A and B are shown apart, each in its own frame.
Chain A
Amino acid sequence: MQKSVFYGALAAAVVIGGAVGAATLDDVKARGNLNCGVSTGLVGFAAPDASGNWEGFDVAVCRAVAAAVLGDPQAVEFIPTTGKTRFTALASGEVDMLARNTTWTFSRDTDLKLDFIGVNYYDGQGFMVPKALGVTSAKDLDGATVCIQTGTTTELNLADFFRVNNISYEPVPIETNAEAQQQYLAEACDVYTTDASGLAATRAAFESPGDHVILPEIISKEPLGPVVRHGDNEWGDIVRWTLNALISAEELGITSANVSELAGGTNNPEINRLLGSEGTLGDMIGLDSEWAQRAIMSEGNYGEIFEKNIGENTPVGLARGLNAQYTEGGLIYSPPFR
């Protein structure tokens, strides 16, 4: 038994494996599916449904990459990771990319040998308090008990914020969002702090969301984006430009509905270059010419993905805000496809 499992493991290692540092693109193609690291469950961003299909804002990025590279948005293996295991999973080659609410920071980008290939969601850490407390600013929170999720940058931001403003607080570290929600609702903490998107999603699940306010202060910058291993620039390019293709598609008015029609050729050269009816952009990143077309077809353009998973018509109910296109006052901006 022992031997057989070891042998099975060995065989599996060969099937799954792929040496770290080798060309990820070749591995992915040889394997026929993309290994994508996601969070174990974050409302609106990544969660499995009853039949085991993963859905969410981060998940859509994985599907778009799979569609661009392999031609099949379903050819993705989702590998749940925690805050602790995510970087090791990436570094060891267990996953090809991370699409998990991971904040782009200096030390992660450099010291941990990761490459952040862009930002798919601009977030910031905020505070939620019950309306009944009558608090209007985070600076009124002297002495408050604050629920924070551990293993993220939030606890560092929190410590810094209270230190800078010279007010005291009592941190209550919490492992998962569900427990934070429970503690907050039972008033075991006065304040819940996490990324503003998370706060909105959490509040949406309350029985009476109107009784809680999200304070105006956003105390940190949390640019969340997909991550790849440092050193494999070809693969990094593919993921980066897949994301950019989704963003440009929204800017250019390409949607999952009209993408096949537009792919036939338009009089806008940028659309033509993006969708492959003109130029050889696909070749330059080692893919065919219709890569972007497939990526957009899989889950729609950036705006569609946003609206479908976390937009105002979903239970999460996030406004575009910073994540609107730069043309509409947001920060979402793709370099040109040229």
Chain B
Amino acid sequence: MSDASFVRTEMLSEQDPPPTSVGVIGWLRANLFSNWWNAILTVLCLAAIWYVLSGLLGWTLRSVWNAGSLNECRDVMIANWGSTHGHACWGVINDRWLQLLFGFYPPELYYRPILAMLLLFAALAPVLFADKVPPKLLYVTAAYPFLMPWLMWGGSIWTPIGVAAGFVVAYLVGRKLGGTASGLVLGILSAVVWWMLWFGLPGQAETFDSGVGRVLVAGLGENLASISPDTAPFWLETVESRKFGGFMLSVLIGVVAIGCSLPLGILLALGRQSNMLIVKAICVGFIEFIRGVPLITLLFVASTLLNIFLPPGTNFDIILRVMIMVTLFAAAYMAEVIRGGLAGLPTGQYEGADSLGLNYWQAQRLIIMPQALKISIPGIVSTFIGIFKDTTLVSIIALLDPLGLSNSIRADTDWNGIYWELFAFIALMFFIACFGMSRYSMYLERKLKTEND
């Protein structure tokens, strides 16, 4: 080996990096001015941001909060700034924000939609944040579909209890017969029989005049002849759905549509994957038809045609009709999301289920669906965001969602002529809600990804 003439025995001491590559300057150089092209773009962007913000912030902040009408607003603007241009009149929001949130829901009952909303979070928590909340909350989830309509529409507690009991009956019967197709069918049939017993047969369904419900309630010591708002236990004042409006209506349509479309969507997705030709054709036909037409045409159907399609004399009110159509709409999209979830499962899961000797429904219930639904949650959340945004379309068929209400508010002589403030408020509310949900969906996607990796 050659003899090295020089070997360094101690390390050189660390030197500070050049000042242009660290700290603020370094960051600026790396991220904003890395070459002349980027520098130009940066400057242009800054100019654009300045232009937009200077106009927008001035309008937003130099504004009038306390005014009872647009003319009052204008007077204040003239007094303060000498001109009415470039200033927002938030008085309209100040005046009408409760209406924009709750529509015409009776103010003394506002606690009910608020409670329903809070319960919604409680009910969703075990599904959405499974690892962070006690699993006991699942009971809330199970009860929610029955509690929510009761809270929103009011009436007697026996209605949701009767409906829920029907599901319990269906479950018990289905379980007794084992998880087979006939068990499923018989379970559903027994539930229908139960509901008929409880509520009375259709046609004479004056809720409590007939049926076992009446007998049971009698057994609980109620005076049957006078089941009325005053005597029934837990009676909530009924609120007709046409009193619903504003953001409450948007959220309600969205939640009902997603909630109801989930079981429908599962069935459609299974039907689409099935190898039974006719069942598959019907499911594919339904899904493609709904996905092929704009929601607005379905809403036209709800507003003008649905009554024609139903037996003479039936007459749902428009909000329920819209909920039905939006549910069908959501079901088609939900079916596709769940189909994606099913496709995402490795074939081994299906084969494993078969090798255990499980029949179709058992395999679906115990093995396939729990996994498929779990990986579908981000898709379901995005479907919900889409539906929630699409609820603004109901303003076109004269429902008073926030956008529809903004029109009615402008028809009040006090606020005739106001424009941007209402839209800005509505857009902001939608943004906050949808942005929050999409963040959650992304968080979930990341989590699922790391779990799978």
Contacts of A1 in B (CB 8 A): 145-146, 256, 259-260, 262-263
Q: Is the CB of B145 within 8 A of A4?
A: yes
23 A–B contacts, CB within 8 A, in A order: A1-B262, A2-B259, A7-B163, A8-B159, A8-B320, A9-B316, A10-B202, A11-B199, A11-B205, A12-B153, A47-B409, A50-B95, A50-B99, A52-B103, A77-B242, A84-B303, A88-B303, A89-B318, A94-B317, A176-B407, A178-B417, A181-B416, A207-B74
Q: Is the CB of A85 within 8 A of B307?
A: no
Q: Is the CB of B315 within 8 A of A92?
A: yes
- Min CB distance A84 to B, Å, is 7
B384 at the A interface (CB under 8 A)? no
B236 at the A interface (CB under 8 A)? no
Interface residues of chain B, those whose CB is within 8 Å of chain A, are 70, 74, 84, 95-96, 99, 103-104, 107, 145-146, 149, 153, 159-160, 163-164, 166-167, 191, 195, 199, 202, 205-207, 240-242, 256, 259-260, 262-264, 300, 303-304, 307-308, 312-318, 320, 323-324, 327, 396-400, 404, 407-413, 416-417, 419
- Min CB distance B264 to A, Å, is 7
Q: Pick the residue among A3, A19, A80 that contacts B312 (CB under 8 A).
A: A19
- Known contacts A81-B398, A207-B84; decide if A11 and B207 are in contact (CB<8 Å): yes
A14 at the B interface (CB under 8 A)? yes
Q: Is the CB of A20 within 8 A of B313?
A: yes
Q: CA separation between A41 and B304, bound complex, in Å?
A: 20
- Min CB distance A46 to B, Å, is 7
Q: Is the CB of B316 within 8 A of A12?
A: yes
Contacts of B317 in A (CB 8 A): 12, 16, 94
Q: Pick the residue among A17, A52, A207 that contacts B313 (CB under 8 A).
A: A17
- Known contacts A2-B260, A9-B320; decide if A41 and B303 are in contact (CB<8 Å): no
Q: CA separation between A18 and B206, bound complex, in Å?
A: 14
Q: Is the interface of A mostly helix, strand, loop or mixed?
A: mixed
Q: Is the CB of B318 within 8 A of A94?
A: yes
Contacts of B206 in A (CB 8 A): 14
- Known contacts A4-B149, A81-B398; decide if A52 and B99 are in contact (CB<8 Å): yes
Contacts of B304 in A (CB 8 A): 84-85, 88
Contacts of B416 in A (CB 8 A): 43, 178, 181, 201-202, 204-205, 315
Q: Is the CB of A182 within 8 A of B419?
A: yes
Q: CA separation between A298 and B5, bound complex, in Å?
A: 114
**Nearest B residue to A37, CB-CB:** B398
Q: CA separation between A17 and B240, bound complex, in Å?
A: 13
Q: Is the interface of B mostly helix, strand, loop or mixed?
A: helix
Q: Is the CB of B320 within 8 A of A43?
A: no
Q: CA separation between A280 and B409, bound complex, in Å?
A: 43
Q: Pick the residue among A50, A80, A315 that contacts B400 (CB under 8 A).
A: A80
A126 at the B interface (CB under 8 A)? no
Q: CA separation between A187 and B146, bound complex, in Å?
A: 54
**Nearest B residue to A42, CB-CB:** B411
- Min CB distance A335 to B, Å, is 33
**Nearest A residue to B170, CB-CB:** A3
* A 202-217 to B, binary, CB cutoff 8 A, 1 in contact else 0: 1011110000000000
Q: CA separation between A181 and B199, bound complex, in Å?
A: 53
Q: Pick the residue among A5, A50, A201, A207 that contacts B256 (CB under 8 A).
A: A5
Q: Is the CB of B413 within 8 A of A10?
A: no
Given A9-B316, A40-B407, A41-B409, output 4 extra A-B contacts at Cβ < 8 Å.
A7-B159, A50-B99, A85-B398, A177-B410
A314 at the B interface (CB under 8 A)? yes
Contacts of A182 in B (CB 8 A): 419
Q: Pick the residue among A14, A48, A204, A206 that contacts B104 (CB under 8 A).
A: A48
A145 at the B interface (CB under 8 A)? no
Q: Pick the residue among B95, B163, B316, B417 that contacts A4 (CB under 8 A).
A: B163
Q: How many residue pairs at the A-B interface have CB separations less than 8 Å?
A: 172
Contacts of A314 in B (CB 8 A): 413
* A 159-191 to B, binary, CB cutoff 8 A, 1 in contact else 0: 000000000000000001110011000000000
Q: Is the CB of A12 within 8 A of B149?
A: no
The winner among A42, A50, A79, A202 for most chain B CB atoms within 10 A is: A50
- Known contacts A44-B413, A50-B95; decide if A5 and B323 are in contact (CB<8 Å): yes
Q: CA separation between A181 and B416, bound complex, in Å?
A: 9
Q: CA separation between A12 and B153, bound complex, in Å?
A: 10
Contacts of B146 in A (CB 8 A): 1, 4
Q: Is the CB of B413 within 8 A of A43?
A: yes
A13 at the B interface (CB under 8 A)? yes
Q: CA separation between A206 and B327, bound complex, in Å?
A: 43
Contacts of A303 in B (CB 8 A): none
- Min CB distance A77 to B, Å, is 6
**Nearest B residue to A16, CB-CB:** B317
Q: Pick the residue among B242, B396, B408 that contacts A82 (CB under 8 A).
A: B396
- 10 closest A-B pairs by beta carbon, nearest first, are A41-B411, A1-B145, A19-B313, A41-B408, A47-B411, A205-B416, A92-B307, A2-B260, A52-B104, A88-B304
Q: CA separation between A147 and B324, bound complex, in Å?
A: 36
- Min CB distance A54 to B, Å, is 9
* A 7-43 to B, binary, CB cutoff 8 A, 1 in contact else 0: 1111111101111100000000000000000011111
**Nearest A residue to B264, CB-CB:** A2
A51 at the B interface (CB under 8 A)? yes
Q: Pick the residue among B195, B259, B303 that contacts A7 (CB under 8 A).
A: B195
Contacts of A77 in B (CB 8 A): 240, 242
Q: Pick the residue among B199, B263, B303, B417 that contacts A85 (CB under 8 A).
A: B303
Contacts of B404 in A (CB 8 A): 40, 80
Q: CA separation between A94 and B408, bound complex, in Å?
A: 21
Contacts of B407 in A (CB 8 A): 40-41, 176, 178
Contacts of B153 in A (CB 8 A): 8, 12
